[in-house]
């Protein structure tokens, strides 16, 4: 999204020019990327003027021809070529308007120093050009040379005190500099001018000024100004977008969605705005509508990886698992969502019992973007599902060479060590996890349970188990660990109390039922023990 300074500069660029070359001002717009018709017209125009370069025309005609060709490239977004041609024009005709066009093109390719140099030369040639001062002010502002920018805007206002563009640009800069009183004075001066033809812009900029200050009172004032702007221009997209953003900050999704819907009716929404709209729909669990909009986005913009990732996530939510997997797999390796896409696709395939296919995906993921810990852990879990614990351990070791301080990788590595029968190594790795993340409940519970099984340091195991229960009191398996540690210390009555809670929370857990049956037996509760053993026998191993 453009910053206020960039918008100010864009306004400046699009008001700069010469009456003699009024037609060239259309370069401030951009040809649609896929408009074959417009490109065809551009190419035809280029063919008309390009032959003049091979004939003996006057410098004036050559300059005009080159200028028009440069303008065509500018419209097509080919700034490098446009700059090359404008530079040739300036050697033939170093007029201010040519330098200003060069300044605009250099800005587009982030060469601010060159842009500023040409704008300064244009002003030296014509010190009365108000638009040139506004353009130079925008360039200085983009370069964070705020004092120089203010001087240019003030010079423009000195030459033309009623100039709305200079007033808005200077007010916008004051807003960024937190000089709010100065900004408000400039914006309200426009509203007091009966000749001012676009008062909605003054209200909009006042809204931005209040929003920039933050706080509930200023948010209310900003909303008021944006609404005033919309009363004057119901389709003003910037005001609608700003209102939507404030409503999102306030947690008012319904009003934010209403603004986005109005935007959608009046203009083509940016991908950013479309995605905000989609995320609201997902939050509201309106998955079908969210999916429809996401499909539209990826159809028009196949490289929109963020939209494709969320489309897959929605399809996963609605049970369209095959489609979800396809879209996860289409997310580019360059995307920030790539690793999560790999993990989700592999997880879904694993849930379908397609371990081989899932492994293919995680292997590709590791090759394409091997620095992500979650891809290593998923790949290891898939190998573990095939009982290839040695392979899982090796993959996790690879991950730990890059992410030695990642607690989840360490935890999974500890589990792999346990499955390989390396109990001491497992406990050492679990302790490393707890050094990194003292409240890692799974590590606490697993370590405490292992210590109980091995009858090692049972008082220490009890401390770990009790801390785990404090952190996750509703987790049946965490409760089971504490109950088992107590049982191992012959604190049978206490163990039964805790194990009964665990069984109540997870009645289908075979291991919990077996532990409770053993505790009943040790307490000479034969009938309860027999009944619980019967329940355990009917349950599947977990």
353-356, long-range: CB within 8 Å, 24+ apart, which pairs?
355/382, 355/385, 355/386
Query: In terms of residues, how long is the chain?
Result: 542
What's the confidence (pLDDT) of residue 363?
A: 93
Per-residue pLDDT of the chain (542 residues; tens, 9 = 90+): 444 444 444 434 333 332 222 223 333 332 233 333 333 334 444 444 444 444 445 777 888 899 999 999 999 999 999 999 999 999 998 999 999 999 999 999 999 999 999 999 999 999 999 999 999 999 999 999 999 999 999 999 999 999 999 999 999 999 999 999 999 999 999 999 999 999 999 999 999 999 999 999 999 999 999 999 999 999 999 999 999 999 999 999 999 999 999 998 877 788 899 999 999 999 999 999 999 999 999 999 999 999 999 999 999 999 999 999 999 999 999 999 999 999 999 999 999 999 999 999 999 999 887 678 999 999 999 999 999 999 999 999 999 999 999 999 999 999 999 999 999 999 999 999 999 999 999 999 999 999 999 999 999 999 999 999 999 999 999 999 999 999 999 999 999 999 999 999 999 999 999 999 999 999 999 999 999 999 999 998 76
Residue 81, both tokens: 């070529």
Query: CA-CA distance, 3 to 10, in Å (whole number)?
Result: 10
* pLDDT of the residue at 234: 92
Question: Are 382 and 359 contacting, i.e. CB atoms less than 8 angstroms apart?
Answer: yes
Which among 454, 446, 440 has a CA at the least distance from the CA of 480? 446
Find out whether 530 and 518 touch, Cβ atoms under 8 Å: no
Per the listing, tokens 């603004």 go with 259
CA distance 240 to 261: 10
Task: Give the DSSP letter of residue 269.
Answer: P
Contact 101, 130 (CB under 8 A): no
Tokens 């001491």, residue located = 424
Q: Which pLDDT belongs to residue 493?
A: 96
Residue 361's region, left for phi above 0, alpha for psi from -120 to 50, else beta, is alpha
CB 500: neighbour CB atoms within 10 A?
A: 18
pTM exceeds cut of 0.75: no
**Among 144, 221, 132, residue whose Cα is nearest residue 177:** 144
What span, in angstroms and rounded, lies between the C-alpha atoms of 185 and 162? 14
Dihedral sign from CA coordinates of 495, 497, 503, 505: negative
Cβ burial, residue 16 (10 Å; 0-12/13-18/19+):
buried
pLDDT value at residue 495: 97
Q: What would the DSSP string read from start to end of 52-68?
A: GGGS---HHHHHHHHHH
- Cβ(246)–Cβ(222) below 8 Å: yes
Between the CA of residue 312 and those of 120, 123, 221, 276, 337, what are the distances in Å?
Answer: 52, 54, 40, 17, 11
Q: H helices of 143-252, where?
A: 146-159, 164-176, 180-191, 199-213, 216-232, 237-249
pLDDT at 368: 87
- pLDDT given at position 268: 76
Whole-angstrom Cα distance, residue 74 to residue 278? 34
Reading the block at residue 417, the tokens are 């060590």
Q: Nearest to residue 184, comparing CAs of 221, 152, 219, 217?
A: 221
Q: What is the dihedral of CA 518, 523, 528, 531, to 10 degrees?
A: 20
> How far is it, in rounded angstroms, from Cα 515 to Cα 517?
5
Please report the domains of the chain, with CATH numbers, ordered by start residue.
440-542 (1.25.40.10)
Burial code of 239-258, b = ≥16 C-beta within 10 A, e = fewer?
bbbbbbbbbbeeeeeeebbe
C-alpha 487/C-alpha 521 separation (Å) is 11
DSSP, res 28? G
Residue pair 377/399 in contact (Cβ under 8 Å)? The answer is: yes
């Amino acid at each position: 999204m453009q910053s206020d300074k960039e918008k100010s500069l864009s306004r400046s660029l699009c008001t700069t020019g010469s009456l003699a070359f009024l037609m060239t001002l259309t370069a401030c717009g951009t040809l649609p990327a896929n408009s074959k018709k417009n490109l065809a017209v551009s190419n035809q125009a280029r063919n008309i003027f390009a032959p003049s370069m091979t004939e003996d025309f006057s410098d004036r005609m050559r300059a005009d021809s080159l200028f028009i060709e440069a303008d065509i490239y500018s419209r097509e977004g080919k700034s490098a070529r446009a700059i090359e041609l404008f530079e040739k024009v300036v050697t033939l005709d170093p007029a201010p308007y040519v330098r200003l066009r060069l300044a605009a093109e250099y800005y587009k390719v982030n060469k601010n120093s060159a842009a500023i140099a040409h704008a300064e030369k244009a002003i030296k040639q014509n010190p009365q050009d108000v638009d040139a001062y506004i353009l130079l002010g925008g360039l200085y502002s983009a370069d964070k040379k705020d004092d120089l920018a203010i001087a240019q805007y003030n010079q423009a206002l000195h030459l033309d005190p009623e100039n709305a563009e200079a007033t808005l640009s200077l007010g916008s800069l004051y807003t960024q500099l937190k000089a709010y009183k100065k900004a408000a004075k400039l914006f309200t001066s426009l509203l007091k001018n009966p000749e001012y033809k676009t008062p909605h812009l003054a209200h909009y900029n006042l809204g931005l000024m209040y929003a920039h200050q933050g706080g509930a009172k200023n948010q209310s004032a900003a909303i008021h100004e944006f609404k005033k702007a919309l009363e004057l221009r119901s389709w003003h997209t910037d005001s609608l977008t700003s209102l939507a953003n404030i409503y999102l900050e306030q947690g008012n999704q319904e009003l934010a969605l209403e603004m986005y819907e109005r935007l959608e009716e009046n203009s083509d929404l940016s991908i950013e705005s479309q995605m905000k709209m989609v995320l609201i729909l997902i939050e509201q669990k309106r998955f079908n509508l969210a999916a429809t909009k996401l499909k539209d986005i990826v159809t028009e913009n196949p490289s929109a990886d963020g939209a494709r990732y969320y489309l897959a996530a929605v399809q996963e939510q609605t049970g369209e698992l095959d489609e979800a997997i396809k879209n996860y797999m289409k997310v580019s390796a360059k995307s920030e969502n790539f690793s999560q896409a790999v993990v989700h696709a592999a997880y879904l395939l694993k849930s379908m019992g397609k371990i081989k296919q899932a492994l293919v995906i995680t292997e590709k993921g590791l090759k394409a973007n091997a620095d992500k810990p979650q891809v290593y852990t998923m790949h290891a879990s898939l190998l573990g599902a095939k009982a290839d614990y040695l392979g899982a351990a090796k993959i996790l070791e690879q991950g730990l060479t890059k992410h030695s301080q990642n607690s989840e990788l360490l935890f999974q590595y500890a589990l792999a060590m346990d499955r390989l029968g390396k109990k001491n190594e497992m406990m050492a790795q679990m302790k490393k996890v707890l050094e990194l993340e003292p409240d890692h409940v799974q590590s606490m519970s697993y370590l405490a349970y292992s210590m109980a099984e091995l009858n090692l340091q049972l008082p220490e195991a009890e401390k770990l188990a009790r801390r785990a229960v404090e952190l996750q009191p509703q987790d049946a398996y965490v409760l089971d660990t504490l109950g088992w540690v107590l049982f191992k210390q012959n604190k049978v009555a206490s163990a039964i109390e805790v194990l009964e809670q665990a069984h109540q929370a997870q009645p289908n857990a075979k291991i919990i039922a077996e532990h409770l049956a053993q505790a009943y037996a040790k307490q000479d509760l034969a009938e309860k023990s027999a009944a619980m053993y019967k329940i355990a026998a009917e349950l599947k191993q977990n």
